[in-house]
Chain A
Amino acid sequence: MSTPGDGIPVQDTAFVSEQKRRAAEGGLNLKPSSRMPAPGSPEPRRAVGAAPAARIEDAVFSCRDVSVLYADKPGLSNVSIDIARQQVLAVIGPSGCGKSTFLRCLNRMNDTIAGARVTGSILLEGRDILGKEQDVAQLRAQVGMVFQKPNPFPKSIFENVAYGPRIHGLARGSADLDDIVCASLRRAGLWNEVKDRLSRPGTSLSGGQQQRLCIARTIAVQPEVILMDEPCSALDPVATARIEDLIDELRASYTIVIVTHSMQQAARVSQRTAYFHLGELIEVGETNRVFTNPRQKLTEDYISGRFG
């Protein structure tokens, strides 16, 4: 997979020096030429291990050379990226570029797809989550996920939120469970709207309320990271604005990764933005910087609306 028109693949000098250090230690066998390609030289863009990644101190997630194959068809190629604590990372890119695939690597949801293979390494708080020893259920309790379409369980509003704490045994007694449900609904900004009808089916709510219910359901498990895959694409502007406000509040306690098709949304809610193209990570950096001063031609084309 070669991408035309890009110059320097590595953005952060900190990362480059880190690469050098690791190479020097023998951890990576980089050829000197692939480590520092001359600008504009006809280098193969991605040499082994030299994917663009911004090193971040105290990252929650660090992904290195993560690739996904769907029955031998690549869905993601050599993505290396760090995800900062208590920030919102927006993932943008044209349809089919691997945004969802990347997101689903972070909580091993790709495991549920027959024929999907994930390689590389993903460290969550320094612990490799791709290994066989990783308890997937526990990982997913730590890394929650909100989906594109609001999809409450066929249960009451209360039970929807109580489900996660129940299966993970988080509540000591029913009063405790009530507290967790109440607190989660409050955090999701839904409490006032549903407090009188907790026993009604979750599906009786409006689309925007359902999505906030799904967020409440996710935070009831007390995750560390929340993944959101186009959480607003099925919602109207008012409901979208509410979710965006909510994301901004949640950032204080959670690390959030949000996939979005709306550049405005990415700009509004995120501190960092990653741009994907054809399964590769093209650029990642401060949201402001990426939108005002993209370093890659592909990113610039995308955010200026030339394609995608």
Chain B
Amino acid sequence: MAVVTAKRAARQRSGERYFRAATLVAALLVLGLLGGVALSLLHGAWPALAHFKFAFLTREIWNPVTAQFGALAPIYGTLMTSLIAMLVAVPIGCGVAIFLTELCPRGLRRPVGVAIELLAAVPSIIFGIWGLFVLAPLLQRHVQPWLIAHLGPVPGIGRLFQGPPFGIGVLSAGLVLAIMVLPFIAAVMRDVFDTVPDVLKESGYALGATTWEVIWNVVVPYSRIGIVGGIMLGLGRALGETMAVTFVIGNAHRVSASLLAPGTTISASIANEFTEAVGDLYTSSLVALGVLLFVITFAVIAAARFMLLRLDRRALSGV
């Protein structure tokens, strides 16, 4: 009997070993792939980076005919559309999350939560088509003329709202992005708000605080790191989004003061131009754009992970 058991244990041990090795290989494979992608990106980008040096980051010009390339317009477009998306999506996403965790009747919580998760799963090309055929004309006809008429003359921010209403442009791209990341941010925030212990909220109520005071003074401070993490994750998505943006941004390599003017983003430029890029420097410049996007999103996601990690640790230490 004892012999059989020992044999069995030995077999289990070796099975364990194989399993471990297999998972280790899988993990290493992913790491290797990531390294490979980074290396081949750098390799592909090298001619352009070596040729234009630092000026690649600061020049607006993008001229395939004279082979002059600068990344300023795509960088600006990427950051600007993401900023608009965040400005719109974060407050609304927070509101949705607060409604779901604090105010929503129990029975409605799950259906609304599931609906939001489904919304987050809609393919981005759908948003692109919708943005081009529905949102852009709507903005062009009704919203942008109003912005131009009322905000355009305002000193300072007025410059953001001048020029003809194209419909497509940086603002439209930002709004489409906002709609895309909104469900994602709402879902993450809801999970973050759910980590606030009930007893903490109850002690707020027990002091005579209103629901609003409890949310603002207890829930938000307690989950502030998670909120930042959720925002960063949403930002990471917005920065890298390609399809929807390509449809509605207008794809012009220009840095315009006006948000209504067409522009471009890093990923939109790459998607648009890669197939028609002739000449080593052109291709290499597009790859260099890819490197930039890689660096920006990597930094954002890393910051988000770091903050969420700190939240986890705090939750574990039972604050």
> Which residues of B lie under 8 Å from residue A203 when comparing CB positions?
319
Contact A163 B206 (CB under 8 A): no
Contact A164 B207 (CB under 8 A): yes
The interface bits of chain B over 211-244 (1 if a CB of A lies within 8 angstroms of the residue's CB, else 0) are: 0010001100110000000000000000000000
B63 contacts the other chain (CB 8 A): no
Contact B203 A141 (CB under 8 A): no
Q: In the complex, what residue of chain A is closest to B200 when comparing beta carbons?
A: A151
The interface bits of chain A over 204-240 (1 if a CB of B lies within 8 angstroms of the residue's CB, else 0) are: 0000000000100110010000000000000000000
CB within 8 Å for A155 and B213 given contacts A145-B206, A149-B199: no
Distance of B241 from chain A, by nearest CB (Å): 34
Contact A153 B200 (CB under 8 A): yes
A138 contacts the other chain (CB 8 A): yes
> Which residues of A lie under 8 Å from residue B200 when comparing CB positions?
151, 153-154
Contact A114 B207 (CB under 8 A): no
Contact B207 A167 (CB under 8 A): yes
Contact A140 B208 (CB under 8 A): yes
> Which residues of A lie under 8 Å from residue B207 when comparing CB positions?
140-141, 144, 163-164, 167, 217-218, 221
A191 contacts the other chain (CB 8 A): no
Q: In the complex, what residue of chain B is closest to A168 when comparing beta carbons?
A: B208
CB within 8 Å for A112 and B205 given contacts A154-B221, A154-B319, A167-B213: yes
B12 contacts the other chain (CB 8 A): no
A203 to B221, CA, bound (A): 14
Interchain pairs with CB closer than 8 A, number? 68
Contact B206 A109 (CB under 8 A): yes
Distance of B197 from chain A, by nearest CB (Å): 7
Contact B203 A147 (CB under 8 A): yes
Residues of B58-89 contacting chain A, CB below 8 A: none
Contact B205 A221 (CB under 8 A): no
B280 contacts the other chain (CB 8 A): no
B7 contacts the other chain (CB 8 A): no
A107 contacts the other chain (CB 8 A): yes
Contact B199 A114 (CB under 8 A): no
Contact A140 B205 (CB under 8 A): yes
Contact A147 B199 (CB under 8 A): yes
Total interface residues on A, CB under 8 Å, equals 29
The interface bits of chain B over 73-110 (1 if a CB of A lies within 8 angstroms of the residue's CB, else 0) are: 00000000000000000000000000000000110000
A155 to B200, CA, bound (A): 12
A155 to B218, CA, bound (A): 9
Q: In the complex, what residue of chain A is closest to B205 when comparing beta carbons?
A: A112
Main secondary structure of the interface of B (DSSP, over half): helix
Contact A153 B206 (CB under 8 A): no
> Which residues of B lie under 8 Å from residue A221 when comparing CB positions?
207-208
Residues of A135-153 contacting chain B, CB below 8 A: 136-141, 144-145, 147-149, 151, 153
A151 to B319, CA, bound (A): 8
CB within 8 Å for A137 and B105 given contacts A147-B203, A203-B319: no
Q: In the complex, what residue of chain A is closest to B105 when comparing beta carbons?
A: A114
Contact A214 B203 (CB under 8 A): yes
Distance of A245 from chain B, by nearest CB (Å): 23
Contact B205 A141 (CB under 8 A): no
Distance of B317 from chain A, by nearest CB (Å): 9
Cross-interface CB contact of A145 among B197, B203, B319, cutoff 8 Å: B203
Q: In the complex, what residue of chain A is closest to B213 when comparing beta carbons?
A: A167
A276 to B83, CA, bound (A): 59
> Which residues of A lie under 8 Å from residue B206 when comparing CB positions?
107, 109, 140, 144-145, 147, 218
> Which residues of B lie under 8 Å from residue A140 when comparing CB positions?
205-208
CB within 8 Å for A109 and B208 given contacts A114-B106, A153-B221, A154-B221: no
B210 contacts the other chain (CB 8 A): yes
Residues of A86-107 contacting chain B, CB below 8 A: 107
> Which residues of A lie under 8 Å from residue B217 when comparing CB positions?
153, 163, 167
B204 contacts the other chain (CB 8 A): yes
> Which residues of A lie under 8 Å from residue B204 when comparing CB positions?
153
Top 7 closest pairs, chain A to chain B, by CB:
A141-B208, A145-B206, A140-B208, A137-B208, A164-B207, A154-B222, A151-B199
16 further interface pairs, Cβ-Cβ under 8 Å (given A217-B203, A218-B206, A221-B207): A107-B206, A136-B208, A137-B210, A141-B207, A147-B199, A147-B203, A151-B199, A151-B203, A153-B200, A153-B221, A154-B221, A154-B222, A163-B207, A167-B207, A167-B217, A168-B208
The contact sample of 28 A-B pairs, CB cut-off 8 A, is: A107-B206, A109-B202, A112-B205, A114-B105, A114-B106, A137-B208, A138-B208, A140-B205, A141-B208, A147-B199, A147-B206, A148-B199, A149-B199, A151-B197, A151-B200, A153-B203, A154-B200, A154-B319, A155-B221, A163-B207, A164-B207, A164-B208, A167-B207, A167-B208, A167-B210, A167-B217, A217-B203, A221-B207
